[in-house]
Structure 1
Amino acid sequence: MQPKLRAGLPVISRRNGELQIGSDPKYGVILTGLTWNEQALLDWLSRRYSPSRFERHRKALGVSKERLTELLEILDQHGLLESDPLRQNAASAEQMLCARLDGHQSGYLRRKDKSVQVFGANSLGTLVAALLGNAEIGNVVVSKMLEPPSIQAFEHFPFSAHSYGQSRMGTIGDFLRNYLPKNRSINYPTHDLSIIISAGSFPATLAKLLAVDDQPFLMVTYTEMGLSVGPLIHPALGPCPQCIDLHKTDLDSAWPIVADALQGTFARANPPSIDSATLATAAGFIVRIVLDFLDNRNQVPIGTQLYIPTYDTQIQHSFWQAHPSCQCQRFSFCTHDPVVGQELKR
C-alpha cells in the first residue's frame, strides 16, 4: 500500500535539511538532517498520487528504497502515517479528526451503530445530545430525570424564547429532529453508554441500576459554582459508584448525609442554571470523553474526573481508583489497584 500522511497535516520546509510535519505543538514533528531531495520526496506524502507515480518520483530524486523505508519508519513511529487512506474531498470534520488521531477510520465508521442515552433533559443534556448527533453517533436519546415538565424562563440556549412554557420533552424532541434528521432517537433497553447529568450530588440509585446491568455510564454533576465531568464508570474497569462514595466518605465523614441533602434540595427546587461559558466548556469535554470511549481510543483513562469552575479558567483533574473496602473488589468488578496516599477531591 502506498504511504500517505494522515489527513490534513501540513508539510513545511523550514530550512535546508529540516522538514516540519504538522503544526500542532503536541503532535507536530520536525525532521532534521535531510537532503533537499529527501525533503521533496516526503512532501509528496501529503498529495494524491498513484504508487507507480510516487516510485518514478523517488527514482528521479535519487532517494534509495532503504532510505525511504528508514524515513517512513520515523514517521510511523510518530503516528503520522495513515493505515486506511481517506477520501479527503468527501470527508467530514469528524472523519478527518479520527484519521489524524488514529491513522484509520474504524472508530469513526462504528459511530453510526452506537447508541447513547442522556439522562438530564436540560440545557446541558440537550446540547450534548445535539453535539453527539453532529459527531455522527447513530442513536442519541434524551431522558427526563427531575426536571420540570415544561421549559422554564431561566433556561436559555439551546432552547429559544418561544420554548418557554412548552413541553420539555416535546421541545427537545423537535430540536433534535430539526437539527439532526438522521438521529434515530430510539430508547433501546440498553445503550453503549449513558450520560447522567444531575445537580448537587450523583443519583446513586440510577448509577447502581446501570452498574448491575453492566452498562457503562459517565457521571456529570453540577452545583451553583462549578461542574464535574466524570468519572466514566465501566463494568470491568476502574471504580464503581460505591467506590467513589467510599472515597468521598474517607475525605469527609459527613458525605452520605450531605449527598442525600443535596439530592433532596434540588428535587424540591429548580436546579442551578449553567452560564453560557460553563455550558459550552462542559459540553465539549463531555463529548470528547464520550467519543474517546466509543471510538475505543482510550486516551482518557478510566477514573478521570474534571472539575470546571464557573469563576476561572483553571480546570482541575483528579483520578478515582477502586476502593479497597468496596464489595466490587471481591468480584473483580474493579481491575485497578488502589493508590495509597493519593489525594482525591470530591
Structure 2
Amino acid sequence: MEGPDSWPTTCMGVKRPRIKPALRQVLRSERTLQIGLHPRRAAMLHNTEPRFMRLVRALDGTRDVRQILALAQADGLTATETISLLHMLIRRGVIDDAAAQPVPLRPLGLAERDRLQPDLDALSLDPASTDCGFGAFARRRAAYVRVYGAGRIGAQVVALLAAAGIGHLCVSDPVTALAADVVPGGLGWSEVGGTRQDGAAAVARRIAPGVNVWTGEHAASLDDRARPPDLAVLCPTEPLDHLLVAELMDAGVPHLLVTGFEGFGSVGPLVLPGRTACLYCIELIRRDRDPTWPLFTARLGGIPAGDRALDTVLATQVAATAASHALARIDGTGEVVTNGTLDLLPDWGWRRRSWSQHPRCDCCVQNDFE
C-alpha cells in the first residue's frame, strides 16, 4: 500500500475526510489534542507526534483520501500510519465525509438552510454517521406526523417539529383559539379567534416555510396523504378520544401521549402497536390496582382529563420533551418512553414510570405490525 498507485480512494467509505465542524479542537499540550468539548463526546489524542497533529489539522474536507496520503507522506508518515489514524478517528465518531451531497436541503431556500444549520450540526454528531447529518435530515423531511390537539402543548409541538425539519405535518384541533392558548412558542395573539389547528399550521409555516402542513378539516382519514402517518402525537386538551386511539391501534400507527395538568406534565407512553404496552394496557393496570378507577374516570369523562392549571413554563418544557422523543422516533435514535412515561413534577424533577403489556389486553394477543 506504500506506492501511490495502490493507495485507496476511500477510507471506511469516506471520500473526503474532515473533522466534524461542530466539534471544537483544543490543543491541551504540545502532544495532546482534544476533539469535542463534552466529556461524553470528546476524543483525546495523547502522546501524539507533531506530524500526526498536523495531519489531523489538515482534515478539513478539502482533500480526498489520496491527497491526504500524499500530504502525510511528504511529512514523513507512511500510508499505513495515515490509514490507521483515519480508521481510529472514524471509529471514534469525529469524522464526516465532505463529499456527502446535501440532497434534502435542495428544495429549501437559502435562509431556511441557514436556519437549519445548527440542527444539521447536531445531527452530524451521530458517531455512527459520516454523512454530515444529511441522512437523518432526509428521514425528517420524508416523515409524516399528525398532532391531535393544538392547545398550549400541542401547538408548540407542531412548531418544534416543523422547525426541526419534519416535512409533513397534519394538525387536528377544530376548537376556537382563546387568549388562554397563547404561549411564546405556540399560538400567538394573531391566532386568537380562529381554530387552533389553523393557528398551529400558520405558526409552523412562519418558522419553517418549507414544511407541508395541513389541518384536520382537510383530512378524511389516517391515510389522507396516501399513507398512514409515521407517528401520531396526542396532546389532548379535553378527555382523550378513545375511538381515535382504537383507530390508531387498528392502523398500526405509533402514537405518543403528552399531557399536562395541575402542575404536572407527562410524556409517554410511546405506543408501538402490538409490540409495547398500549394506553388500554395502562387502563387495565390501573383498574387492577384501584377497583374504583372505572367509576372515577367515568365521572371525569375520561383520562387524561385534558389541560388544567397548565402554566406557560410547564407547557413549554413538556412540549420540548415530547418533540425530542418524537424526533428520536423518526431519527431512529432511541425510544425511551416505550413501556413507560416521563413525569415532570412540580419541583421540576423528572420521574420515569414503567408499564407492561396487560395479559387481558387485545394488543398482545396478536401482533400484525412486526
- Normalised by the size of structure 1, how large is the TM-score? 0.82
Assess if the C-alpha contact under 8 Å between 1:237 and 1:333 holds in 2: no
Partner of residue 33 from structure 1, selected from 42, 47, 65 = 47
Partner of residue 119 from structure 1, selected from 145, 148, 152 = 148
CA distance in 2, matches of 1:201, 1:229: 16
> CA shift at 1:334, angstroms?
9.3
After TM superposition, the structure 1 = structure 2 runs for residues 303-342 of structure 1, keeping only pairs within 5 Å, are 303-309=339-345, 311-332=346-367
> CA shift at 1:193, angstroms?
0.9
Change (3 A) 1:166 1:204: closer
Change (3 A) 1:308 1:84: farther
Aligned residue in 1 for 2:234: 196
For the residue of structure 1 that corresponds to 2:59, the secondary structure is: helix
Structure 2: 5+ residue stretches without partners: 1-14, 103-112
> CA shift at 1:83, angstroms?
5.3
> CA shift at 1:84, angstroms?
6.9
Partner of residue 179 from structure 2, selected from 132, 153, 178 = 153
Aligned residue in 1 for 2:251: 213
Assess if the C-alpha contact under 8 Å between 2:343 and 2:352 holds in 1: yes
CA distance in 1, matches of 2:195, 2:340: 35
Percentage identity across paired residues of the two chains: 23
CA distance in 2, matches of 1:138, 1:103: 23
> CA shift at 1:209, angstroms?
1.6
For the residue of structure 2 that corresponds to 1:49, the secondary structure is: coil
CA distance in 2, matches of 1:42, 1:252: 62
Change (3 A) 1:307 1:328: same
> CA shift at 1:225, angstroms?
1.5
Aligned residue in 1 for 2:130: 103
Aligned residue in 2 for 1:139: 168
- Normalised by the size of structure 2, how large is the TM-score? 0.77
Change (3 A) 1:86 1:305: farther
Change (3 A) 1:113 1:61: same
> CA shift at 1:200, angstroms?
7.8
The C-alpha deviation readout for 1:144-182, integer Å capped at 9, x for no partner, is: 17xxx3222322213334544444344334433444332
Between 173-182 and 203-212, report the one with greater CA deviation: 173-182
CA distance in 2, matches of 1:265, 1:283: 19
Aligned residue in 1 for 2:11: none
Aligned residue in 2 for 1:17: 31
For the residue of structure 1 that corresponds to 2:257, the secondary structure is: strand
Asked if residue 79 in structure 1 is aligned to residue 93 in structure 2, the reply is yes
Change (3 A) 1:298 1:308: same
Aligned residue in 1 for 2:6: none
Assess if the C-alpha contact under 8 Å between 2:271 and 2:338 holds in 1: yes
Asked if residue 296 in structure 1 is aligned to residue 332 in structure 2, the reply is yes
> CA shift at 1:46, angstroms?
4.2
Partner of residue 66 from structure 1, selected from 75, 80, 85 = 80
Assess if the C-alpha contact under 8 Å between 1:115 and 1:138 holds in 2: yes
Aligned length: 329
> CA shift at 1:134, angstroms?
1.2
> CA shift at 1:297, angstroms?
2.4
Assess if the C-alpha contact under 8 Å between 1:118 and 1:196 holds in 2: yes
The C-alpha deviation readout for 1:295-327, integer Å capped at 9, x for no partner, is: 222364633421122x22311223333334433
Change (3 A) 1:334 1:251: farther
> CA shift at 1:199, angstroms?
5.0
Between 280-289 and 63-72, report the one with greater CA deviation: 63-72
Assess if the C-alpha contact under 8 Å between 1:304 and 1:318 holds in 2: yes
Partner letter of residue 209 of structure 2? Answer: P
CA distance in 2, matches of 1:321, 1:45: 49
> CA shift at 1:122, angstroms?
0.8
CA distance in 2, matches of 1:210, 1:298: 21
CA distance in 1, matches of 2:162, 2:237: 24
For the residue of structure 1 that corresponds to 2:357, the secondary structure is: coil
RMSD over aligned Cα atoms: 3.0
Change (3 A) 1:201 1:163: closer
Structure 1: 5+ residue stretches without partners: 336-346
> CA shift at 1:86, angstroms?
5.1
For the residue of structure 2 that corresponds to 1:92, the secondary structure is: helix
Between 282-291 and 248-257, report the one with greater CA deviation: 248-257
For the residue of structure 1 that corresponds to 2:253, the secondary structure is: coil
The C-alpha deviation readout for 1:242-281, integer Å capped at 9, x for no partner, is: 22223333444433333333445987xx832432222221
